[in-house]
Amino acid sequence: MNITHLSAECYPIAKVGGLADVVGALPKYQNELGANSRVIMPFYNNAYTSTHQFHSIYNSVLNLGETTYEYQILKLQNEALEFDIFFVHVPELLFKDYVYSAEDTLRFLAFQIGALDWIIQQDELPEVIHCHDHHTGLVPFMMKESYKYAKLQGVPSILTIHNAQYQGWFSHDLVGLIPEFNFVHVGLLDWYSVINPLASAIKCAWRVTTVSPSYMEELKASANGLEALLRHEYAKCIGILNGIDTEVWNPETDSYVIKNYNIDTIAEGKESNKAWICKEFNLDINKPLIAFIGRLVHEKGSDLFPGIFDTILQQNNCNILLLGSGNSDVELQLNTLKPSFAGIYNTFIGYDEKLSHIIYAGADFLLMPSRVEPCGLNQMYSLRYGTIPIVNKIGGLKDTVIDINTPNGFGICHDGATPAEICNAINRAVAFYDDPKFTQIRREIMTIDHSWHASAKAYLNLYNSLKPAL
Ligand code: ADP
Ligand code: GLC
């Protein structure tokens, strides 16, 4: 089966968050199951694109309303990825040193139109077009309604919602940028009087998936304005839990970590990684190390961190290390706390892939008190590295972590992202560090299977269920 994924991010080429990890792994696992799965993404100006070889396979122009842009389709020459990856290169709009910006309407429209213009030139059409998040949300509409893409009307389109908070809204004044369609159907673009690419994709895609079953349920009650639409379209919606790439995220072979380890050598392995972290960040190796890795945004509960860390660190019985960036007030407050808790607290404000791997390996607990977590990959990475997750019981966190106080439990769960609940959960973790079961549990969690195998199959089953209509 020929599957084309369209995405703004794909690891290792361009990554802002978990979307990249998913799109960088799912096609590989689909190919292992016999599919021919490929990715199309924008061509950015970043460290990866400047150090790898690409060749141009298509040269043309694309139109955004009255304006014409030259563009190319590039193909990456890299067998190591185990799937083909193509790039829409619109020098004027997409070739920037960032992924997202304030001009994303034009940029991602150019991406979507450039991709579809190229796809319809090919002799063989994809059997499925799989769109990820709002950046590719106009594709299902254009495939269904734009005259120039009539050839694609019979090709199933899938939307995966990785995060419904971001919807890509823009004004109807810009509707002329979308390739011509029968204006009677303009309502398929609209939600509350603006063009809403995510809503449009929910209306027009043949199937809609979210990245965990619990998030799918939660969206019916809270989806940043799209609740009623999701309830209405529920029959075509399904939650499929993300997997993790167990080749990239393997403590035994991970080239980023300080010392590799497996279930038999976990004690020495984690100790060496923790020792490196404690030296690098001036932390106390004899106390449990609680880490946070992620975007400092409201959804992750990061505005609560300064207050919570202050309360917890006063007790002087654990270390806290944070790797992340985002809201500048939160960044400032987190850094302001440092002098008061030197020796048990530190931050790295920024993005650092290597450091994140070392932290998954060296931390004792990983904190994820998210208010919203569609799936969350960090808790699955931490399990694989023998690091016990502390999570709020929502979305994908609820689907992947069971509290230690329940049968077969292995993590620390709390009910709600409130300071009291989070502090209580951290205190439970600190107490558990001295429990005789601590070492046994961290060995056991390394063996939990969150690989992509089952989910890649679930997506193929979903595509296959649409086949008779081809
Ligand atoms: P989200 O996509 O909402 O940010 P996920 O849990 O799905 O959350 O995925 C986050 C991904 O980004 C993980 O691979 C995590 O390790 C990585 N990540 C987040 N922040 C950083 C950072 N500051 N440095 C390195 N990696 C990070
Ligand atoms: C989004 C979500 C996150 C999810 C990721 C990959 O960024 O916030 O929970 O894991 O997408 O699907």
Domain boundaries, the chain: 2-243+453-469, 266-449
Determine the pLDDT at residue 442. 97
The Å distance, Cα 402 to ligand 2 centre, comes to 20
The Å distance, Cα 372 to ligand 1 centre, comes to 14
CATH superfamily of 2-243+453-469: Glycogen Phosphorylase B; (3.40.50.2000)
Sign of CA dihedral 40, 46, 47, 52: positive
Q: Which ligand is nearest to the CA of 163?
A: 2
How far apart are the C-alpha atoms of 129 and 201, rounded to whole Å?
12
The torsion defined by the Cα of 199, 200, 204 and 205, in degrees rounded to 10, comes to -60
How far apart are the C-alpha atoms of 396 and 401, rounded to whole Å?
9
| Closest Cα to atom 11 of ligand 2 | 162
How far apart are the C-alpha atoms of 1 and 171, rounded to whole Å?
37
- Which has the closest alpha carbon to 200: 257, 140, 143, 154? 140
Cα 141 to chain centroid, rounded? 24
- Which has the closest alpha carbon to 453: 235, 244, 200? 244
Task: Give yes or no for residue 148 CB within 6 A of ligand 1.
Answer: no
Determine the pLDDT at residue 78. 78
The Å distance, Cα 30 to ligand 1 centre, comes to 23
Q: State the residue for tokens 């919807």.
A: 167
DSSP 153: T
The Å distance, Cα 381 to ligand 1 centre, comes to 10
User: What would the pLDDT profile of 374-419 be if each residue is shown by its tens digit?
Assistant: 999 999 999 999 999 999 999 999 999 999 999 999 999 999 999 9
Question: For the whole model, what pTM was predicted?
Answer: 0.96
How far apart are the C-alpha atoms of 87 and 233, rounded to whole Å?
32
CATH architecture label of 266-449:
3-Layer(aba) Sandwich (3.40)
Based on its alpha-carbon atoms, the radius of gyration of the chain, rounded to whole angstroms, reads 23
- Which has the closest alpha carbon to 230: 208, 206, 214, 205? 208
DSSP 180: P
Task: Give yes or no for residue 27 CB within 6 A of ligand 1.
Answer: no
Structure-block tokens of residue 36: 């021919």
Residue numbers of the chain with a pLDDT score lower than 70: 468-470
Do 2-243+453-469 and 266-449 come out as alike in CATH topology?
Answer: yes
- In this structure, the chain runs to a length of 470
- Which has the closest alpha carbon to 112: 45, 186, 41, 194? 41
| Closest Cα to atom 18 of ligand 1 | 294
Determine the pLDDT at residue 470. 44
